[in-house]
Amino acid sequence: MQIVLIAGDGIGPEVTAATQEVIAATGVKIDWIDAPAGLHSAEQFGDPLPERTLDLIRQYRVALKGPCTTPVGKGFRSINVKLRQSLELFASVRPVQSLPHLKTPFEQVNLIVVRENTEGLYAGLEHQVVPGVIESLRVITRTAAERIVRYAFELARQYGRRMVTFCHKADVMRLSDGLFLQCAREVADDYPFIDFEEKPIDNVCLELVTDPKHYDVLVMENLFGDVISDLCAGLVGGLGVVPGANLGSKYAIFEAVHGSAPDIAGKGLANPIACIRSGAMLLEHIGRRDAAARIEHAVVETLRAGVGLTRDLGGDGNTRTITDAIISHLPTG
């Protein structure tokens, strides 16, 4: 099994290496194909996202990715956005669950954020009308709207989830979110066995900080999804522990969504949990559900035991000790 590995910048090489180790320890054999992206790549090849990297993903279909920094001020578009658009990774999926050891004000959070990944204001269409007046286009299409809502319902069905909440601002964007809402209702009709709820995005934000337990699967357009994904990560301990996936009909990229933390890069201090859990999602995607579940279990038990944790998790360990702890908690397969 060959899988592309984009180690990325900063702590990227450390957290992806830890993930490779944990995956190897489950017994799943993967032949990792290195591919460059990020600051590193821009310096070495003059391109933060070389065509070669895209081609490798096209060839092998699946990638694990560490944080990649987009060089600023040189007209490069965000690497993440470019990856999603070039490979039509139309769905971003972020499962968010309360974890042991991480003291947050919220308990029993257990939701999945499904974000449309290709349109909205991320279409990148902007122009200056006259100096001092800019228009950005927020593009919503029936095709993409139906596709993402259907994706959310399929996910709900597959994982036995009970409710899908569609988040919108249709009272203000009557045409665009009106269309999206109409598509959502139509798709929801195909799933009478899953509850459907539609809510303005501002209400959702308020409820997420007062009663996050209410939510199950949430689906929404791109920029709303950007904001809600990070808000939800905050509810359970932040980007250091939450995995992410970007999925299309042909390709899939699994990635920790945290930054490259240049201040601690190379020091062996990085927390690899977000990347390791993204690796578990990757295993699930390629049909190794058992290995995926074992990794998830090991991460949860490692946090519960609270030994060997990295500093950001309140421990005095490092990448090595937490990786060893996770491996030692892997149930035998």
Ligand X SMILES: CC(C)[C@H](C(=O)O)[C@@H](O)C(=O)O
Residues 6, 222, 262, 41: is their CA dihedral positive or negative? positive
- Rounded-to-10 torsion of CA 198, 201, 206, 208: 70
Minimum distance from CB of 218 to a second copy (Å)?
Answer: 14
One of 4, 183, 252, 257 touching ligand X (CB under 6 A): 257
Binding site partner of 175, from a second copy, ligand X, none, Cβ cut-off 5-8 A by kind = a second copy
Q: Is 57 in the site for a second copy (CB under 8 A)?
A: no
* SS3 call for 34: strand
Binding site partner of 321, from ligand X, a second copy, none, Cβ cut-off 5-8 A by kind = none
Contact 179, 161 (CB under 8 A): no
Minimum distance from CB of 107 to ligand X (Å)?
Answer: 25
d(CA 113, CA 92): 8
Burial environment of residue 91 by CB neighbours within 10 A (0 to 12, 13 to 18, 19 or more): buried
Q: Is 137 in the site for a second copy (CB under 8 A)?
A: yes
Q: How many residues bind ligand X (CB under 6 A)?
A: 8
Q: Is 215 in the site for a second copy (CB under 8 A)?
A: no
Positions in 86-105 near a second copy (CB under 8 A): 104-105
Contact 111, 212 (CB under 8 A): yes
Q: Tell me whether residue 30 or residue 204 sits nearer to a second copy (CB atom).
A: 204
Q: Is 284 in the site for ligand X (CB under 6 A)?
A: no
Q: Tell me whether residue 174 or residue 304 sits nearer to a second copy (CB atom).
A: 174
Q: Which residues are catalytic?
A: 122, 169, 202, 226
Positions in 152-171 near a second copy (CB under 8 A): 169, 171
Which residue, 110, 67, 126, is CA-closest to 259?
A: 67
Q: Is 118 in the site for a second copy (CB under 8 A)?
A: no
Q: Which residues pair with 181 in a beta bridge?
A: none
Minimum distance from CB of 313 to a second copy (Å)?
Answer: 14
One of 46, 74, 108, 128 touching a second copy (CB under 8 A): 128
d(CA 236, CA 260): 20
Q: Which residues pair with 277 in a beta bridge?
A: none
Q: Is 140 in the site for a second copy (CB under 8 A)?
A: yes
User: What's the Cα-to-Cα distance from 249 to each of 22, 90, 214, 253, 306, rounded to whole Å?
Assistant: 27, 8, 30, 12, 39
Which amino acid is located at 10 in the chain?
A: G
Q: Tell me whether residue 198 or residue 324 sits nearer to a second copy (CB atom).
A: 198
Q: Is 311 in the site for a second copy (CB under 8 A)?
A: no
Q: What is the largest CA-CA distance in the chain?
A: 65
Minimum distance from CB of 22 to a second copy (Å)?
Answer: 26
Question: How many alpha carbons lie under 13 Å from residue 197 in its C-beta half-sphere?
Answer: 15
In eight-state DSSP terms, residue 71 is P
Binding site partner of 86, from ligand X, a second copy, none, Cβ cut-off 5-8 A by kind = none
Q: Which residues pair with 200 in a beta bridge?
A: 168
Q: Is 80 in the site for ligand X (CB under 6 A)?
A: yes
| Contact positions vs a second copy (CB under 8 A) | 70, 78, 81, 104-106, 121-122, 124, 126-128, 131-143, 169, 171-176, 179, 201-203, 205-210, 223, 226-231, 233-235, 238-239
| Contact positions vs ligand X (CB under 6 A) | 78, 80-81, 171-172, 202, 226, 257
